[in-house]
C-alpha cells in the first residue's frame, strides 16, 4: 500500500535549521513519513542526521543540483500519495498536515496547495515567500495575498479561508504525487527560484487547480540559504521569470509581455546602478543575455507544453502600476 504523505526536506548546509526545526516536523507530522534529502552539503548536516535522527530517512546526493533537480532526484526514490516539499527553515504547528490532507482528499481536481506562511521572527506577520497564496500579474510579476513587493501585512484573520490561488510556495508545497510526475516535476533548468510557479502554471494549463488552506499554519525564517541581496539570486529571479513567461503564456501574449518586461526590468537595472549595487545590475544584464542566447532551448520546452492559457488567478492589470502609481498596497485593493 502506498504511504499517504511524505514530508521531504531538501537540505543544503542547513544543519542549524535541522537542529532547530526538525523536532517540530517530527512531533506534528502525525506519524507520516519524513525524509531529509541532502543536496551535497559541505557542513556537518549528514553526520548530524545520522547521529541525532537515525530513524529519519536520509537521501544523500553526490552534488548540489539546486532546488528543482534536487527535489526531482529525491522524490523519485519516495513512494507517497502526497509529497510535502518543506524548507529546512520552517517551523510547523500542531495539525498542520491534517487540514491539507482532508482538503486534497475531498478535491481530486486540486493538484497542489499551501498553508498560511507566517514570519518566524515576527509571528504576527505574513512571510515574504508565500504568505496567504501566490498570484501573478499580466506582466509576470509574482505577488501574494499578504505580501506585495516588500509590503507585508499583519495577520488579522483576513485570510483565514480556503482560496484558489495561482501558485503555491515551494517553501511548503503540498502536491499530489501522481500529477507532479504527470507534469514532469519541477523544471531542472530553473535550478532555483520560480520553479514552483512554473509547475503550478503547468498544473493549471492541464486543467487542475491550486489552493491556499488557511486553517493550516507554519512559520518560515526565509532567505535561509541564499541572502536576499545576492546577485546570484537576482540573476536566477530575472532569468527564470523570462523563461516562465516564455514557456507558459499564450502565443499572442508572449512577445508583447516580454517587450514590456524589457523596459520595466531596465528600470530595475537603473535602480540597482543608482544604489551602487552594480553586481545586481550586471546580474540582470546576464539574465537577459542567458535567456535570449538560449531562446531556442526554452522554445523546445514551450512546444512540449501546448495548452497555453490565461487564468482567472492572473491579475489583469500591471502590479507595478497599481502599486507605485495607484498606491494599492494590499491584495483586497488590487481586486476591488
- Tell me the pLDDT tens digit for each residue of 81-103: 999 999 999 999 999 999 999 99
- Tell me the pLDDT tens digit for each residue of 215-267: 999 999 985 444 556 899 999 999 999 999 999 988 888 999 999 999 999 99
What was the pLDDT predicted at 250? 84
Helices marked H in the chain — which ranges?
15-28, 45-52, 66-75, 96-106, 177-182, 195-205, 231-248, 251-274, 278-293, 295-303, 319-324, 331-335
What was the pLDDT predicted at 280? 95
Assigned CATH topology for domain 5-220: Spore Coat Polysaccharide Biosynthesis Protein SpsA; Chain A (3.90.550)
In this prediction the pTM is 0.93
pLDDT of residue 12 exceeding 60: yes
- Tell me the pLDDT tens digit for each residue of 175-223: 999 999 999 999 999 998 999 999 999 999 899 999 999 999 999 998 5
User: What residue spans define the domains of the chain?
Assistant: 5-220, 231-335
What's the pLDDT band for 75 if we cut at 50, 70, 90? very high
Percent of the chain past pLDDT 70, that is, above it, reads: 96
Mean pLDDT of 305-334: 83
Could you give the C-alpha distances from 304 to 9, 187, 199, 203, 254, in angstroms and in order?
29, 12, 14, 14, 16
What was the pLDDT predicted at 102? 96
**Is residue 280 exposed (0-12), middle (13-18) or buried (19+ Cβ within 10 Å)?**
buried
Amino acid at each position: 500500500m502506498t504511504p499517504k504523505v511524505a514530508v521531504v526536506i531538501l537540505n543544503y548546509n542547513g544543519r542549524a535549521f535541522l537542529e532547530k526545526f526538525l523536532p517540530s516536523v517530527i512531533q506534528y507530522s502525525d506519524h507520516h513519513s519524513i525524509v531529509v534529502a541532502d543536496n551535497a552539503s559541505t557542513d556537518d548536516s549528514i553526520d548530524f542526521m545520522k547521529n541525532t535522527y537515525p530513524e529519519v530517512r536520509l537521501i544523500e546526493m553526490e552534488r548540489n543540483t539546486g532546488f528543482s533537480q534536487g527535489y526531482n532526484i529525491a522524490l523519485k526514490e519516495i513512494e507517497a500519495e502526497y509529497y510535502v516539499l518543506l524548507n529546512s527553515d520552517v517551523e510547523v504547528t500542531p495539525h498542520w498536515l491534517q487540514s491539507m490532507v482532508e482538503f486534497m482528499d475531498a478535491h481530486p481536481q486540486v493538484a497542489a496547495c499551501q498553508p498560511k506562511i507566517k514570519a518566524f521572527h515576527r509571528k504576527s506577520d505574513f512571510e515574504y515567500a508565500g504568505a496567504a497564496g501566490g498570484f501573478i500579474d499580466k506582466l509576470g510579476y509574482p505577488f501574494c495575498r499578504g505580501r506585495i513587493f516588500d509590503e507585508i501585512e499583519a495577520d488579522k484573520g483576513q485570510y483565514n479561508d480556503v482560496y484558489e490561488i495561482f501558485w503555491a510556495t515551494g517553501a511548503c508545497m503540498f502536491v499530489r504525487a501522481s500529477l507532479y510526475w504527470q507534469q514532469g516535476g519541477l523544471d531542472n533548468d530553473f535550478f532555483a527560484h520560480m520553479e514552483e510557479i512554473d509547475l503550478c502554471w503547468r498544473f493549471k494549463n492541464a486543467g487542475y487547480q491550486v489552493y491556499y488552506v488557511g486553517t493550516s499554519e507554519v512559520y518560515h525564517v526565509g532567505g535561509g540559504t541564499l541572502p536576499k541581496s545576492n546577485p546570484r539570486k537576482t540573476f536566477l529571479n530575472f532569468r527564470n521569470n523570462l523563461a516562465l513567461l516564455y514557456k507558459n503564456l499564450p502565443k499572442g501574449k508572449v512577445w508583447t509581455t516580454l517587450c514590456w518586461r524589457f523596459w520595466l526590468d531596465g528600470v530595475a537595472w537603473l535602480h540597482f546602478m543608482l544604489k551602487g549595487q552594480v553586481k545586481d545590475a550586471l546580474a540582470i544584464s546576464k539574465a537577459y543575455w542567458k535567456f535570449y542566447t538560449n531562446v531556442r532551448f526554452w522554445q523546445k520546452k514551450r512546444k512540449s507544453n501546448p495548452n497555453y492559457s490565461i487564468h482567472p488567478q492572473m491579475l489583469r492589470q500591471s502590479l507595478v502600476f497599481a502599486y507605485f502609481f495607484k498606491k494599492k498596497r494590499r491584495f483586497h485593493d488590487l481586486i476591488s
